[in-house]
Structure 1
């Protein structure tokens, strides 16, 4: 007696080398399949179905990450922005990461100063005199230059001036920090009779690493994101952290993911730190005071120029995709390139 009846033969016909049910002429042919063969075919079919399902889920996740919760959750802050809160005081991850970034960058800078034959304590002594103006410049630049025009940005700060001082809630800009901090460093070194270019080189060496670390504070605060994306590393942003027009949940529901600009800038700075550090050691005999600063002025603005096109928390010149940062980046890149060429690229005059 055959183990499988005609209905089973039709169901398993494709397993026997056909892509359609068996014909009536072959339906009555006795089929002798052992239970071992049946179990083997069952396992093959189950494996094929599972593989097909996983492949379909992977493809959906690659091209429609809004439907792939497992992928989307990977780009969502795993912790609350506030670590601990006691009365009006709060310890925030943003502050912890910023302090970590500052001291890591300062340690790299102090090691450079020591290699140059100076006392590294000089850098630690000047740190507070550079940081205070730097933070103040970074915050004021963001509020009055970088923040969006309207109630989501400058308008809110003008209506609630106390929020201008609340930098721990996010919203500082590296160009403001660099301008104010560099001016403070120059004045400090002149006052204490230290070589300013050497110390600017030291800061420029450690700064990319500090920036790379600090950008993860933006991740936890759910800020520094770009427009919607279908990339698998899209960032989930809660409604209360979205800027207009993405705060419209009917048009941009919770499933929408956004470009993680903090990640792009962090990776760019990690690479920049590695590159500039290698160049500073590989060509230390050829480099002149100020060269590391010029390299930083080329590398960081180069990446920031392109990232800035995706910013959602900036205002742009009317009818253009450009803003003030693009101008500053272009000026910095040009200055750095001309400076390095002037120092190293010109042919010596014939004597």
Structure 2
């Protein structure tokens, strides 16, 4: 039985780094970059469809990416601080983003702050811009999760399922690094989250087109759709995070619960106060460009 499972198992890459001369190409970084490119492309199409000007999403993406990287790293370091600042920690490693370790909640939070700053500078209304960007962020997360596969990190507990993930001994958590555990396979939680994010993307796009969501409700739906999946996937993970256990649940599970409820409240309140979708996307009185009526990722009704 184990032999059969091994044949069907998902292999981990032999290396996550390749060299172009002296320049290292890291799978983790490539996955993040590919996700950003996809999110910008989708966001640009959706923004233009809502009346925005081409190129504005790219301008704001610079702010979002810079702030998002800082926020993602800060969240990761804060929740796993002993790895960097504990008795045997390495503070310098806290700056080595290319080795992995970007907390999605920190990246989204400060990334949104970056968008707000950029939107203010370009006289763009924040809510319609965030609504245009949100579905693409799900695709970015789906692609970016494959960076964890390259790094052999953030996997789940052992499993007998045919799609179990092979993890090299030097990448395993201590409790499963013994020779008696050599044949173990693990839940590929990176894959679960990647597929969930893609499914959530299509749900959000459908809902936006069907109900013409506005005033931040696309963002709220994005948060609700993502956190439902993140909650149960997080319960499978076994990586050792210092702030992982709060009242019996991992910190990220609590974060998912709180954010889901907050997003639900915002969705309901916004729908009652501001039904429909905004007609203005700028704060300086500019007339929105003619919106596209094409189907697809634009989110048109």
Q: Do these two structures clear the TM 0.5 threshold for a shared fold by scoring above it?
A: yes
Q: Does 1:297 align with 2:226?
A: no
Q: Once the two structures are superposed, what CA deviation does each residue of 1:210-230 show, in whole Å capped at 9, x if it has no partner?
A: 111111111121112011111
State the partner residue of 1:77. 12
Instruction: Give the gaps of 5 or more residues in structure 2.
Output: 276-301
Q: Once the two structures are superposed, what CA deviation does each residue of 1:208-254 show, in whole Å capped at 9, x if it has no partner?
A: 1111111111112111201111111111100111122222x23422x
Q: Which has the higher contact order (CA 8 A, sep 6+)?
A: 2
The 1-side partners of 2:208 and 2:31 are apart by: 26
The 1-side partners of 2:29 and 2:156 are apart by: 23
Q: CA deviation at 1:91?
A: 0.8
The 2-side partners of 1:232 and 1:244 are apart by: 24
Describe the shift of the 1:192–1:243 C-alpha distance in structure 2 as closer, same or farther (beyond 3 A): same
1:1-351 alignment runs, 5 A limit: 60=1, 65=2, 68-72=5-9, 75-78=10-13, 80-87=15-22, 89-145=23-79, 147=80, 153-154=83-84, 159-247=89-177, 249-253=178-182, 255-284=183-212, 287-313=213-239, 314-315=241-242, 320-344=247-271
State the partner residue of 1:13. none
Describe the shift of the 1:69–1:160 C-alpha distance in structure 2 as closer, same or farther (beyond 3 A): same
The 2-side partners of 1:132 and 1:279 are apart by: 30
The 1-side partners of 2:134 and 2:166 are apart by: 33
Describe the shift of the 1:202–1:111 C-alpha distance in structure 2 as closer, same or farther (beyond 3 A): same
The 1-side partners of 2:89 and 2:270 are apart by: 49
The 2-side partners of 1:336 and 1:319 are apart by: 22
Task: Give the TM-score normalised by structure 2.
Answer: 0.83
Q: CA deviation at 1:159?
A: 2.7
Describe the shift of the 1:83–1:241 C-alpha distance in structure 2 as closer, same or farther (beyond 3 A): same
The 1-side partners of 2:188 and 2:62 are apart by: 32
SS of aligned partner of 1:187? helix
Q: Is the CA contact 2:71–2:109 (under 8 Å) kept in the aligned structure 1?
A: yes
Q: CA deviation at 1:191?
A: 2.7
Q: CA deviation at 1:291?
A: 1.1
Describe the shift of the 1:274–1:158 C-alpha distance in structure 2 as closer, same or farther (beyond 3 A): farther
Instruction: Give the gaps of 5 or more residues in structure 1.
Output: 1-59
SS of aligned partner of 2:19? strand
State the partner residue of 2:278. none
Q: CA deviation at 1:118?
A: 0.7
Describe the shift of the 1:142–1:71 C-alpha distance in structure 2 as closer, same or farther (beyond 3 A): same
The 2-side partners of 1:191 and 1:83 are apart by: 39
Counting matched residue pairs gives: 273
The 2-side partners of 1:305 and 1:317 are apart by: 13
Q: CA deviation at 1:68?
A: 3.5
Q: Is the CA contact 2:73–2:103 (under 8 Å) kept in the aligned structure 1?
A: yes
Q: Is the CA contact 2:217–2:267 (under 8 Å) kept in the aligned structure 1?
A: yes
Q: Once the two structures are superposed, what CA deviation does each residue of 1:248-302 show, in whole Å capped at 9, x if it has no partner?
A: x23422x111111001101100100111111112222xx2221100101111111
Q: CA deviation at 1:80?
A: 2.6
Q: Please tell me whether Structure 1 or Structure 2 has the larger radius of gyration of its CA atoms.
A: 1
